[in-house]
Amino acid sequence: MTTLLEIRNLSKHFDLRLGAFGERGARVHALDDFSVDIAEGETLSIVGESGCGKSTTGFAILNLHHPSGGSVLYKGTDLAQLDEDAMRPFRRDLQIVFQDPYSTLNPRMTIGEALSEPILFHKLASKADLPARLAQLLQDVGLSARFASRYPHELSGGQRQRVAIARALACQPRFIVCDEAISALDVSVQAQILNLLLDLQDKYGLTYLFIAHDLAVVRHISDRVGVMYLGRLAELAPAANLFATPLHPYTRALLSAVPEANPRAPRNRQMLQGEVPSPLAPPPGCRFHTRCPLARGLCRSQTPAFREITPGHLTACHAVTSPTATNWETPA
Ligand SMILES: Nc1ncnc2c1ncn2[C@@H]1O[C@H](COP(=O)(O)OP(=O)(O)OP(=O)(O)O)[C@@H](O)[C@H]1O
Ligand code: SF4
Ligand SMILES: [Mg+2]
């Protein structure tokens, strides 16, 4: 397995500006210490509650938000060190598809014009070859060549998302961040777009970072799943392991709330107490300690290391020393 992206201790903090002179105010800890290797051709999904840092992770990897710390090694270059000019040669390879295709599609451009833009910018086809390339792209995403002359408002939500995917594909990328790319669509259309993404992955050897809050969806399409809580990875595992043997108390609570995500899981729903703390002042130690039923003194003072418990299955919890249930009764 070839590693496409080697991400180490990636962090992103947003400094909120206050006052007329832009003095630094509070700091949002949106992402801290995110480390993972993403293999060529894999689908790595990131799940977690709203505001936990999923989009920030995608943006920081692509250097759309310049990281506050850490590294993103791609083709021997640390993208986190690059300014926008130096990023330009890498932009083509690294694409993003958003939840709302309106944000990427100019309402005054036809679909053909929108798809031509990146092709001409990156010089991926001559003007003479452009019509054939557009027809191929539209065909790849299941649309007929006639769509080239239409405007975004003339399309359904699913068709617009197909165009957004075609626009990403136009760059002949290797890696695509799908940031809630299907979340706004009807359930039946979601399945079609998911299948399209999987077909395109097979055809073009694409690697996906798939950001979603729907655990049932990621179960079926992911090679691995990472669970985030308040800006940190709580758990990372092959998808089947995560759903069959969730280790982190937060993952267990999340899964217990979505029985269809894991039909074999016991149906005793674990309600989490309290609210997610503010990322402006994340709790010290384990960020989950204010809501964790297993929290002890150590959890309040020491950040748990992100450790491998079984091959490929990592979690950040002082209490977990093995996947067997008995450890949950006796946290460290
Ligand atoms: N540009 C920004 N400036 C300040 N804070 C930001 C900025 N972008 C994100 N944040 C904050 O960083 C945290 C993580 O946001 P992010 O958008 O990554 O969450 P998310 O997991 O993608 O949420 P959602 O599921 O709602 O999309 C949030 O507290 C958010 O308010
Ligand atoms: S480290 Fe402590 S507070 Fe955090 S998840 Fe584990 S038991 Fe809970
Ligand atoms: Mg988001």
Q: What is the C-alpha separation between 98 and 184, in angstroms, rounded?
A: 10
Amino acid at 276: V
The pLDDT value given to residue 332: 44
With a 6 A CB cut-off, is 51 part of the ligand 1 pocket?
A: yes
Residues with Cβ within 8 Å of residue 11, at least 6 apart in sequence? 31, 32, 33, 34, 60, 67, 68, 69, 70
What class does CATH assign to 3-17+26-93+173-280? alpha beta
Tell me, in angstroms, the distance from the centre of ligand 2 to residue 257's CA: 19
Nearest to 305 by CA among 33, 46, 56, 73: 33
Domain ranges of the chain: 3-17+26-93+173-280
Cβ 233 vs Cβ 68: under 8 Å = no
With a 6 A CB cut-off, is 54 part of the ligand 1 pocket?
A: yes
Location of structure tokens 């799940």: 47
Cβ 180 vs Cβ 212: under 8 Å = yes
Q: What is the pLDDT along the chain (332 residues), one digit of tens a residue?
A: 899 999 999 999 999 887 666 666 799 999 999 999 999 999 999 999 999 999 999 999 999 999 999 999 999 999 999 999 999 999 999 999 999 877 778 999 999 999 999 999 999 999 899 999 999 999 999 999 999 999 999 999 999 999 999 999 999 999 999 999 999 899 999 999 999 999 999 999 999 999 998 888 899 899 999 999 999 999 999 999 999 999 999 999 999 887 665 566 555 677 788 889 999 999 999 999 999 999 999 999 999 999 999 999 999 999 998 776 445 455 44
Among 251, 270, 287, 289, which residue has the most ligand 2 atoms within 8 Å of its CB, making it the best to mutate?
289
Q: What is the C-alpha separation between 221 and 139, in angstroms, rounded?
A: 23
The pLDDT value given to residue 244: 94
Sheet holding 175-179, edge to edge: 94-97, 175-179, 207-211, 43-47, 224-229, 232-238, 313-315, 307-310
Q: What is the C-alpha separation between 219 and 224, in angstroms, rounded?
A: 9
DSSP track, 257-322: T-GGG-TTS-----PPPSPPPPTTSPPSSSTTTTT-TT--HHHHHSPPP-EEEETTEEE--TT-SS
**Cα first-last separation, the chain:** 36
Cα separations (Å) of 89 from 86, 118, 133?
Answer: 7, 13, 21
CB atoms within 10 A of CB 112: 19
With a 6 A CB cut-off, is 53 part of the ligand 1 pocket?
A: yes
Cβ 10 vs Cβ 226: under 8 Å = no
The pLDDT value given to residue 22: 62
Nearest to 165 by CA among 194, 122, 188, 123: 194
Torsion of CA 208, 78, 56, 27, to 10 degrees: 170
CB atoms within 10 A of CB 273: 10
**DSSP H or E run through 71:** strand 69-74
What is the residue with the minimal CA distance to atom 6 of ligand 1?
A: 14
Cβ 196 vs Cβ 165: under 8 Å = yes
With a 6 A CB cut-off, is 190 part of the ligand 1 pocket?
A: no
Location of structure tokens 């809630």: 180
The pLDDT value given to residue 321: 82
Coil, strand or helix at 161? helix
> What tokens does 118 get?
């990146």
The pLDDT value given to residue 103: 76
Q: What is the pTM of this model?
A: 0.94
Cβ 43 vs Cβ 223: under 8 Å = yes
User: What is the distance, to the nearest Å, from the Cα of residue 297 to the centroid of all Cα atoms in its chain?
Assistant: 32
Cβ 291 vs Cβ 326: under 8 Å = no
Q: What is the C-alpha separation between 127 and 171, in angstroms, rounded?
A: 16
Residue 301 CA: which ligand is closest?
Answer: 2
Cα separations (Å) of 25 from 13, 18, 262, 282?
Answer: 12, 5, 43, 16
Amino acid at 249: P
The pLDDT value given to residue 102: 78
Tell me, in angstroms, the distance from the centre of ligand 2 to residue 327's CA: 12
